[in-house]
Each structure stands twice: as C-alpha cells, then as structure tokens.
Chain A
C-alpha cells in the first residue's frame, strides 16, 4: 500500500522495500491488516493498494481519501496498464507511458536475444522449500511463457495455480531449468538444491542450470519485470551455450 501526494511519497507499508527511497521513509504501516487511522494520519491524496483486505476502500472513502486498487495481475500487459494508470493519477502520465514503452522495448529485445530450440525447454519455478510452485496461469508463469518455456506444474487441477508439487513429480519431469524464488525466504541455492536426496541426477543440477532469483522480483509486477525477463534469457542462453 502506497500513499502519494502528486510526486511525493508519504508512507509505505512494511513490505514495500523497493526502491530504496521507500525504505528510507521508515514508515511501518501494516501491509496485511492496514490500520485506517494510521493511514489517514498521513492525510494522503491517494492510497494505492494491491487488494482490499476488508473495508479499506469504503472506510478511506468515507474519510474522502480515494484508493486505487492495483489488483494482482496475471499478464504483463495488465501490469503496463496499472503503471500507466498510476502515472495518470499522480500527474506523471507521460513518465509512466515512457516507462512502459521502455519496459516493452527491453523485454522484446531480451526475448529476441535468444534462439529457442525446436523442442520447448521445461522449467520448475520454486516458491519455497516445501516445493510450492506456480502454473502458467499466474503472472510469473506468463513471463516464462514469453520464451515458450514449458512449465512442469501445468498438469494440476484447474484453479490450483500455486500448487505444492510432489518431489517425485519434479525428479521424474527432470526440468531443463530450475528457478529458485526462495533464496531470501528459505536460503535455497544451487548447493542446497543439488544436495537434496534424489535431486543429484537431474539435468538442471548436473549441468548447473539452476537460477538463484531475488524472491521479490518475480512476484511483484513493477518495472523490475525487466530484470526477471533478463534473468530468464541469460539462463536459457547459458544452457544453449553449454549444450
């Protein structure tokens, strides 16, 4: 949840740790159970939230504070739209349009930068060390789809888009690439994954195609999507060079 005044940040919640200016504000508003009084204490002109945990919109509305709900997106295009909307609401419409245009160009360039093999490469994206993952229906999955990668979690029942995968299934699927989005939360790394019982025989482990991501980047649909796309491109390029 972010509160802004024209081009001035007033406060962020405890989980908003990017960019550094947000951390420097030093505000510790609760992200999961927002305190309406604490937020209104900053007298913001606008509040941006990623979801309404109850009556946030209604209560802030009664206090005359508008809320922009930037719901979790499932496509990159929806993320562009939110960035442009926020630009419009904060009086930075042109900068926002420039930013999304730049992101599009960088992502297109990254995707065009690798020649994909005829047989699609498979991948496993790890959310934590109890093997929770994502399907292609999620925002994270949609980014991998840019490269035509095949997600090994895609066979779960409809609606279960953040499934806990069975270790047997992962070893049996033997993905070409493993992406770790649990390096910060759970300290996972190439070394810890390689040391797991039964994982040593995996192609991705044997060939070193394990990518250590910053947990925050894949799951947040801001301008850093570009970093995520570039990480995927680099991983594919490294795999193709070594094969």
Chain B
C-alpha cells in the first residue's frame, strides 16, 4: 500500500467517522424523556440555517428543553467522549500497553480527592464563592496528582524505562484514594454527592460547562494529534525510536501532559466516566489497525459519538429518572466490545 493510498483511506475513515458523530449528535438532540416530538427537531434545526424557512411547529417551552437542557448535554458528552478516548489512546501509545487508561497516572484519584474535599467542606455551594470550586479543585487535584507521579517516577534516573512512572502512578493513586476515603468517612453526609460524582454526571451539563472545558480540550487535542506520528515511532520500542532520532523523554512528557490536561478538564465537569478511554481506541484499532496516525483522529470522532449515543439510554430508559452515565457506558459498551472482538476473530 502506498502512502498516498493510505492517506486517502485515512481521509475516508475520518469523513465517515465525522458523519457518524454528526448523526449521533442529531439523534442525541432528537431523543429525550420530554420535549417536542422527535421528528420536529431536525426540521427546527434546518429552519435555523440562514435562508431556510420551515415551520417545525415546536412550542417555545419545548425548544427551551431541547436547546438549553438537552443540547449542552449532547455537546458535553461528545467533548468528554472524544477527550477520554484520545487521551486513552495516547497513554496506550506512550506506555506501549493496550490496557492503560487515561486515569493511569493518578488523574482520576487526584480529581476525586479534590471533588470530595469540595463536597466535605461544603464548597458545593457555588453562591459562597466567586466561581464554582468543584471543577476548579477537581481539575487542580487531577493535575497535581499526575505532576507528583511524574516527579517521583522520573526521579529514579531510569528515564528510559516507564515502569517506574507507572508504579509511581499506582502509589499516588493509592495515596489519594486513601485520603479520599478518610475524608469521606469523616463526612458521611456527602457520600451520595461524591458517589454520584464518581459514577459520572452529564445530567447537569450546561453551556457554561462546555465553555469552561473547551479551551483546555482544544489545546490537548491539537497537541496530541500533532504527536500521532511520533507515537507510531515509539511503537517500535525505546531503543529503536532513539536510533531513529526521537527524543523519547520529551515526547513522553508532552503527550502525558497534554493527555492529562484534557482528562483532568473533562473529569472536572463530568466526574469519572470509565471504560471509554480503553474501549474506543481498541474498537478503532480493530477496524483500522494499530497506526496512531489513524487511531488518534478516529478515537476523537468515534469516542465523541460513543458517549453521545450511550447517554441516550441513560436519559430515557428509566424516564423520568436518570441512570448514571458510568453505569450505561459499561452496560452497553462491554457487550458491544465483546461482539466486535468476536467478529474480528471470526473474520481473521
């Protein structure tokens, strides 16, 4: 296969994945426990295009439900899914381990500790503060945990081995989790709030959340996508990559930092949504192969589509109640993944 053909194949995949993401978002906008009839929503969306005039017959209240409540949730789901998948794929590349998830170096535990502290100190009362402390402190906690992991993990001198980094991540995660458990045990009255945060929450998504995370996510995504070729070089092994003139240490640092920035910012607004960061990159690999030039961009698009789609049952299955997104992600994601794995095995 020539690189030109490979390139056009990649674009074909990117365009089809973008279409899947777009269709998922429209579906996400159309289906919900309340609001207008589903078929009116595409009409209203078309009506909003300049010079197009269609009467969708949607009442103002119903459009408020779609645009103020459902739409930010769909957009946030797409951002969170895309970011977790991209970060997961990047971590897997840097650590050359397919079982790694974006929470490997302690970002989830750090953010969880931050969130628990905010709840325990009564800080979930945004009115007492200039800005809502929950995303701020959980973001800070996540970043601090990874920073700590990196400092400890690279201080042992063996910069060419990333095992010490992973072990430092395990230690920092355990430490942060222990402190979190202790704080939680002293403040049992906030258990439900912390538990809800751990299971992930898209239900309270607002346009404000979207604006809050977007700058960080864009920076993280651009930096990671720029490193997709270097991650391919790392695939051959540290010694070979060094021989090819790659500054392994620098690539690793930048990718870990960028992936952590993205992960910490989405975790700050959506809590811990597991599974996405492992399952989506894997599914992408099963379809297009292991090259990070393809895996990274497709993880962004299909990760976004995946979370938008699984958020639909979390909204409607137990209408008028919600099912935590973390539960639905695993419930639908795991069988889908097994099916994909099986189909792939059979066809090869």
Contacts and interface: CB of A to CB of B under 8 A. Distances in A.
Interface of A: 15, 30-33, 128-132, 152-153, 155-157, 160, 163-169, 171-174, 185-187, 189, 191-192, 196-198, 201
Given A32-B188, A130-B204, A186-B125, A198 B321 contact: no
Contact of B320 (A129, A132, A166): A166
Contacts, number: 113
Interface in B26-55: 32-35
A156 B320 contact: yes
Interface of B: 32-35, 60-62, 64-65, 67-70, 72, 122, 124-128, 185, 188-190, 192-193, 196, 201, 203-204, 206-208, 315, 318-322, 324
Contacts of A171: 34, 61, 64-65, 69
Closest 9 CB pairs of A and B: A187-B125, A198-B68, A172-B34, A163-B321, A169-B320, A32-B188, A168-B34, A197-B68, A164-B322
Given A166-B34, A166-B322, A167-B203, A201 B60 contact: yes
A172 B65 contact: yes
Main secondary structure of the interface of A (DSSP, over half): loop
A168 B65 contact: yes
Contacts of B208: 197
Given A157-B318, A166-B320, A168-B34, A185 B127 contact: no
A129 B65 contact: no
Given A132-B192, A197-B206, A198-B65, A166 B124 contact: no
Given A173-B34, A185-B193, 13 more contacts: A30-B188, A130-B193, A130-B201, A153-B320, A166-B321, A168-B65, A171-B61, A172-B33, A185-B125, A186-B125, A196-B206, A197-B69, A201-B64
Contacts of B35: 168, 172
Contact of B321 (A129, A156, A186, A187): A156
B69 A198 contact: yes
Nearest to A186: B124
Nearest to A200: B64
Nearest to A187: B125
A168 B69 contact: yes
Contacts of B318: 156-157, 160, 163
A185 B207 CA distance: 24
A131 B202 CA distance: 12
A166 B203 contact: yes
B193 to A, nearest CB: 6
Contact of A189 (B60, B69, B127, B196): B127
Nearest to B204: A130
A164 B203 contact: yes
Contacts of A15: 189
Given A130-B193, A164-B322, A174-B61, A169 B203 contact: no
A131 B188 contact: no
A30 B203 CA distance: 33
Contacts of B33: 166, 168-169, 172
Contacts of A198: 64-65, 67-69
Contacts of A30: 188
B185 A33 contact: yes
Contact of A131 (B70, B127, B204): B204
A220 to B, nearest CB: 13
A137 B329 CA distance: 30
A156 B33 CA distance: 12
B126 A192 contact: yes
Given A128-B193, A198-B69, A164 B321 contact: yes
A90 to B, nearest CB: 27
